[in-house]
Amino acid sequence: MELKSEFRVGIPVERTWNTLTDVEFIAPCMPGAQLTEIDGDEFKGGVKIKVGPITAQYKGSARFVELDEANRRIVLEATGRESRGAGNAAAEVTAEMTPDGDGDGTVVSITTDLKVTGKVAQFGRGVMADVTEKLIGQFVSSLEEKLSEIGDQEDSGSEAGDGTADDAETTGEAAETPAESGPRQIEMAEPEPVDLLETAGRPLLKRILAPLAVVVLFLFNRRRRRKRRQG
């Protein structure tokens, strides 16, 4: 199924690009997600979801297949498997960024080609689109809060710093530190599962109540017939 969504962040497009391509930075902002390993443009992790009393965990990997900075376009491929083997998920996510208004903000348009099997597949496109929209809303709120905190820290640092040679030397030493090679393990707290019933809300409730009403009506009519026969 294809899902489309759009959101706005209050930072320029250049900073939005740097932020959204920094997987380690944005991972804690994603509901139910946990990043465990980074190896270049590939990374591993998991997502926890909850459907009523049942909790499922998808573990898998993702990689950037396109990073077009000139056109502010990202294409990401991800695959995952439910830990109990009850379902699979695969997605190709395309994100495109454009400046918004006077350039202080950025609009991010996302197209997701999603394929799922197992428990999650029962919800259908309508419910999944609603869930996606709400989860992206949570992600954006968390991301902007984190960016705001960093902005406050940078402002405090610039006021406290005096721009001396010692600062320059420290920066130079940091720049010369060689980057680690090979997979890097990420220490990230265990996430709370995303409750799909709670997140989907009314659309999912309608989906459940409609067939339930048919079953109740069928049983009621059947009971009436039995009473007539007995009478």
**Distance of alpha carbon 127 from alpha carbon 1, whole angstroms:** 12
pLDDT: which is higher, 130 or 143 = 143
pLDDT bin (cut points 50, 70, 90) of residue 114 is confident
Tokens read off for 82: 């439910």
pLDDT at 89: 85
**Contact status, residue 64 vs residue 75, Cβ threshold 8 Å:** yes
**Distance of alpha carbon 131 from alpha carbon 21, whole angstroms:** 23
pLDDT: which is higher, 31 or 120 = 31
**Distance of alpha carbon 219 from alpha carbon 221, whole angstroms:** 5
Question: Residue 231 class from Cβ within 10 Å (0-12 exposed, 13-18 middle, 19+ buried)?
Answer: exposed
In sequence order, what are the residues at sequence separation of 6 or more whose Cβ sits closer than 8 angstroms to the Cβ of residue 44?
35, 36, 37, 59, 60, 61, 62
**Distance of alpha carbon 144 from alpha carbon 126, whole angstroms:** 27
**Distance of alpha carbon 157 from alpha carbon 151, whole angstroms:** 10
pLDDT tens digits along 143-161? 888 888 776 666 666 555 5
pLDDT bin (cut points 50, 70, 90) of residue 230 is low
Beta strand 194-195 with 42-51 is parallel
**Contact status, residue 98 vs residue 12, Cβ threshold 8 Å:** no
pLDDT at 71: 96
**Distance of alpha carbon 38 from alpha carbon 82, whole angstroms:** 21
pLDDT tens digits along 172-218? 443 444 455 678 999 888 888 888 777 766 555 455 444 444 555 55
Q: What is the mean pLDDT of residues 66-95?
A: 90
Give me the CATH topology for the region 2-155+184-200: Alpha-D-Glucose-1,6-Bisphosphate; Chain A, domain 4 (3.30.530)
Does residue 53 have a pLDDT over 50? Answer: yes
pLDDT at 22: 93
pLDDT at 209: 45
First to last CA, the chain: 53
pLDDT at 131: 77
Percent pLDDT > 70 in the chain is 71
